[in-house]
A and B are shown apart, each in its own frame.
Chain A
Amino acid sequence: MNFKLKVWRQNGSSALGEFTGYEAKDIPEEASFLEMLDIVNEELIERKEEPVAFDSDCREGICGMCSLVINGIPHGPGKAKTTCQLYMRRFKNGDTIWVEPFRAAAFPIVRDLVVDRSAFDHVIEAGGYIPVRTGSAPDANAIPIAKTAADLAMEAAACIGCGACVAACPNSSAMLFVAAKVSHLGLLPQGQADRGRRVLGMVRKMDELRFGNCTNHYECEAVCPAEISATFISRLNREYMAAATADALAVG
C-alpha cells in the first residue's frame, strides 16, 4: 500500500513546527501504524534526513507511551485502541494521512510528535494512591469485596494514562483520567480512609497544571483505548462535591 503523509515536524519545544509531506511506499497491510512510520524513518535515514521522533514502547496497547493524532483523532480511527494497535489495513491505498502530536497546554511538545505528559504523574502524586506502608497489610481475604464493586473498580483501573482523553477534549480536560483513578480507589473499601483528601488533591492539581474542565463533549470516552466510561466523571463530580463540602465545613 502507498500513502501520502503530512507529518508535524518541530525541532524542539521552543521551535516553530510545520507539516512536512512524506511518501510511505510499499507498506504491507498487516503493518501497524507505528511500523509504517518505522519504514518511513528508515528511508529518511538512508537519505540522510532526520527521522521523525515519536514515542512508543510496548507496542501492544498497554504501556500508554504511544500517542499521535491521526487525521484529527487521538490514536486514529477505530474504537478502543492505541496507535500501536492501529493497522494499515484500516486505510485505503493512496490515502493522505495527517499525523500530529497530542495537543494541550499541559502537554508541551518535546520534539516532532513527542509530548511531555509528566503532568499526569503530578496529578497522581497529588493523591492518586492508597497510603499503605509495605508489610502492614492485613490478610488479602480479610475484607471481602463484592464482585460487582471489584469489577467496576477494575473498569476504571484499566486506564493506561496515555492522555488521549486530554488531546480529544476541546477544553483539554483531564477529568476522565482523574475520574478513573478516583473511582478505582474510591470504589474499594481500602480506599475509604483517604477518599476525600484524594479527590481534592487530584482535582486541585489538575486545575493548577492547566487542564480544563468537563463540559460534556464525551470526546474523551470516544477515543479512550481502555474504554473508560464517562459516567466515572459523574462519580468524580459527586466525590468532589462531597469532599469539598466536608472540607469547607471542617475549615469552618
Chain B
Amino acid sequence: MSVTLDSKVPSGPLEQKWEHHRADSKLINPANKRKFDILVVGSGLAGASAAATLAELGFNVKCFCFQDSSRRAHSIAAQGGINAAKNYQNDGDSVFRLFYDTVKGGDFRSREANVYRLAEVSLAIIDQCVAQGVPFAREYGGLLANRSFGGAQVSRTFYARGQTGQQLLLGAYQALAQQISLGTVRMFPRTEMLDVVVVDGHAKGIVVRDLVSGEISSHAGDTVILATGGYGNVFYLSTNAKGCNVSATYRAYKRGAFFANPCYTQIHPTCIPVAGSYQSKLTLMSESLRNDGRVWVPKQKGDARPPSQIPEEERDYYLERKYPSYGNLAPRDIASRSAKEVCDGGRGVGPGGLGVYLDFSDAINRLGKDVVRERYGNLFDIYHNITNEDAYEVPMRIYPAVHYTMGGLWVDYNLMSNLPGLHVLGEANFSDHGANRLGASALMQGLADGYFVIPYTVGNYLATQMNKKISVDRAEFKATEKEVRDQTMKLLGIKGRKTVTTFHRELGLLMWNKCGMARHADGLKEALRTIPELRQEFWENVNVLGTGQELNQALEHAGRVADFLEFAELMCLDALERNESCGGHFRVEYQTPEGEALRNDDEFCHVAAWQYNGPNSRPIRNTEPLVFESVKLAQRSYK
C-alpha cells in the first residue's frame, strides 16, 4: 500500500509562501519553550546552527556527535564557498535567479517552494556569518568579494580562501559553544546515535553508544532532529571524512521514515585521481579552481607525451568546446560525465588513463603567479603534498569522485519527515538540490535549515506536544536499547576471517562500477543480486575483535558497514526504478544523441520516497509529484 505524501507547501504566489508560512506557523511562548527537550544529532553546519539557534530561543537542547569535538564535523572540509543572492557585484543576480539556477542545476527534480525559500534566506545567512566574525574574503575597499561557481553566470559565491566550510562551521561551533557555556545546550561528543525510539508513532528519543566507555543509553526528547550528513561512503572511496555514514538516517528509515531519491549522488569532477588499492579516501580540489583552470585532454588517443610537449592545436578543451557559454564552469554532473567520456575513449592522462588536465598556465600568464597563489595557494599546496607535483609548473591531473548525496530522508516544507517528530536537516534530507547540487549550495542549505528554517517550523510540531513528556523508562526505549545491544553482540560474536574494511572496499567498488557515474539496468540488477550475497558473507565472516565496553573503532566501523550493506540495495533499487537520466543519475539507456541526460518528465517528475517493509520484503516506492508553478521544465542547456 503506498502512501500519499503531503509536502505541506503553502498556497499562494511563490515569493510569498515562506512569509505567509512563517506568519501562520505556531509559536511557543517563552515560558513553555524551556519545557521542551530537543535532541540534535550531528554538529555540522545544519546541526550546530540549529542547536545553537534553538537553544538561544529558549529550548533545552542536547547535541550529539561521533567526533571528539563538534568542530570536526565534515562541513569543515568544504573548500570553495557559499552562494547568496546579494547581488553585491551588480551583475544581475536576484533571489529569483539563484532560485532558478538551483532548480535548473538540480535538473528539475527538487521541490520548487523549498528552493525558493533557500534562495530567500541566503541573504540573511551571509549577514549572520559576518556578524559572527567569519573572515570572508574582501576587496580593498573593505567590502565582500565574490567568485563564480559552476552552473551560474553571476558571481554570487562568498568565500574564505579555500576554507569556507571551516570558517562557517567554526562560526556555528562558536555560537554552539556560547550556548553550552550558558547551559542551554548539553554537548555529547564521541557519542554515536544507533537508533530512533518511536513511541505511539512519534519519534521521541534516540539510543546512543558512548564511543569511549561503550555504554549504550537512551535520551528522550519532544522532537529529534537528524543533521547527520550524507551517505557518500557507501562507495568506500569518496571525498567524505572516514567517519561519515548512513546509520542515523538508515535506522530512522527502518523505523518508518521514508528515504527519498537515494540514487541521487554527486560525483565531483575535480578530485585527485586514485593512486592505489591501499587508498583510504579521495581528496577534492575545489570547484573554484575551474574559475581559472582550463580542463583538457590530448586530441589523440593514447598520447603519452608530457603535457608541455602537446601543442595547443592538439589539445581538446572539451568543456569549452561542448558548452561554450558555461565552458569550464559547467555543472558538476556534466563536467564529471564529460571527463568519464574522454577517459573511456582512451584519451585520459596519468596512470591508468583515469585523469584529465586542469591547466593554470593561461591564468598564470594573464594574472601572474602571485595572484594565482593568493586565490588558490592552499589547494596547490595540498595537491603538491599528495602527488609530489607542482601545479604551477605542470597541469593538475584530476578525475571525478563521489562527493555529495542529494538523496536523503523525505521531509515536508517544515523539514519534518513522514515520521512525526523526526526533523531532518542539511545533507541528511533530500529537499533542495534535486538530482544534482550546484557548487557552493551545500553550505547555503545547511545553514538555511539550521539558522533560519527549523527555528520557525519546529513550533508547528511542538505546539501539538504540550504536556506529552515521555520518560526513557518506557518499554519502547528498553526494547530499542536491547535491539542495539543485540546487534553489537552479534557483530562481536562472529569472529570470522575478513576485516570490516575488506567488506567495505568490496561494496564500494561494486557500487562505483554499477551505481556510479553511469548506470545501466543490467548492472543494477547484477548489483541487486550481489549485494545480498556480500551482506550474508559479512554476517558470517566478519572479524571484529575486542569488546563492546571500550573504545573499539572496528566495532564502530562494522556497524556502519552493516548499514551500508543494506542501504546499497535501496540505492540500486531506486536507480533501477527511475527509468530516466537526470542530474547525477545517469542511466546510459536514456540519453540524447549528444550524450546528455534525457529526462522523462511524463513519468518521473516526482520524488521517490521509499518505505521500509520489513527485513525480507521489497520496500514500497511512494511518490510525491513535483509541481512547478513558476518555472517551465526544459532540457538543461549549458551550451
Contacts and interface: CB of A to CB of B under 8 A. Distances in A.
A208 interface: no
Nearest to B281: A59
A49 B499 CA distance: 12
Interface in B543-560: 543, 545-546, 550-551, 553-554
Contact of B275 (A30, A38, A111, A146): A30
B174 A191 contact: no
A65 B71 CA distance: 9
Interface in B49-85: 49, 52-53, 56, 67-72, 74, 76-77
Contact of A133 (B56, B137, B144, B242): B56
Interface string B138-177: 1111111000000000000000110100110010011101
A138 B283 contact: no
Interface string A138-167: 111101111100110110011011000000
B135 A118 contact: no
A144 B130 CA distance: 11
A89 B388 contact: yes
B278 A39 contact: yes
A150 B135 contact: yes
B138 A145 contact: yes
Contact of A161 (B69, B187, B546): B69
A135 B128 contact: yes
Interface string A78-117: 0011000101010000000000000000000011001011
Contacts of B133: 130, 153, 157, 184-185, 188, 190-191
B164 to A, nearest CB: 11
A58 B279 contact: no
B56 A150 contact: no
B143 A57 contact: no
B128 A134 contact: yes
Interface residues of A, number: 77
A247 interface: no
B178 A53 contact: no
Contacts, number: 217
B440 to A, nearest CB: 16
Contact of B71 (A12, A134, A145, A161): A161
Given A30-B276, A59-B280, A125 B177 contact: yes
Contacts of A65: 67-68, 72
Contact of B212 (A110, A130, A161): A110
A126 interface: yes
A49 B554 CA distance: 12
A45 B139 contact: no
A244 interface: no
A132 B278 contact: no
A65 B550 CA distance: 19
Contact of A50 (B242, B275, B545): B545
A59 to B, nearest CB: 5
A34 interface: yes
A60 B130 contact: no
A157 B135 contact: yes
A53 B551 CA distance: 8
A81 B385 contact: yes
Contacts of A60: 77, 239, 281, 283-284, 382
B267 to A, nearest CB: 18
A151 B386 CA distance: 26
Contacts of B551: 53, 110-111, 114
Interface string B383-400: 001101000000000000
A190 B178 contact: no
A128 B283 CA distance: 30
Do most interface residues of chain A lie in helix, strand or loop, or is the interface mixed?
loop
B218 to A, nearest CB: 23
Given A61-B382, A129-B175, A135 B546 contact: no
A147 B69 contact: no
A140 B545 contact: no
B143 A141 contact: yes
Contact of A140 (B76, B130, B239): B130
A28 B388 CA distance: 14
A146 B142 contact: yes
B313 to A, nearest CB: 34
B124 interface: yes
Contacts of A51: 545, 553-554
Contact of B546 (A50, A56, A139, A147): A50
Given A57-B242, A110-B551, A132-B128, A63 B135 contact: no
Contacts of B71: 64, 121, 161
A42 interface: yes
A35 B163 contact: no
Given A63-B76, A89-B388, A125-B178, A160 B166 contact: yes
B132 to A, nearest CB: 5
B180 interface: yes
Given A53-B553, A63-B241, A132-B128, A35 B140 contact: no
28 contacts: A30-B275, A30-B276, A32-B280, A35-B278, A51-B554, A59-B281, A63-B74, A63-B76, A64-B72, A81-B385, A87-B385, A111-B551, A118-B189, A121-B187, A128-B177, A130-B133, A133-B56, A134-B128, A134-B451, A136-B131, A140-B136, A141-B86, A147-B140, A147-B142, A151-B138, A154-B135, A154-B167, A188-B133
Interface of B: 49, 52-53, 56, 67-72, 74, 76-77, 86, 88, 124, 126-133, 135-144, 160-161, 163, 166-167, 170, 173-175, 177-178, 180-181, 187, 189, 212, 239, 241-243, 275-276, 278-281, 283-284, 381-382, 385-386, 388, 451-452, 455, 497, 499, 501-502, 543, 545-546, 550-551, 553-554
Interface of A: 12, 27-28, 30-32, 34-35, 38-39, 42, 45-46, 48-51, 53, 55-65, 80-81, 85, 87, 89, 110-111, 114, 116-118, 120-121, 124-126, 128-141, 143-147, 150-151, 153-154, 157-158, 160-161, 184-185, 188, 190-191
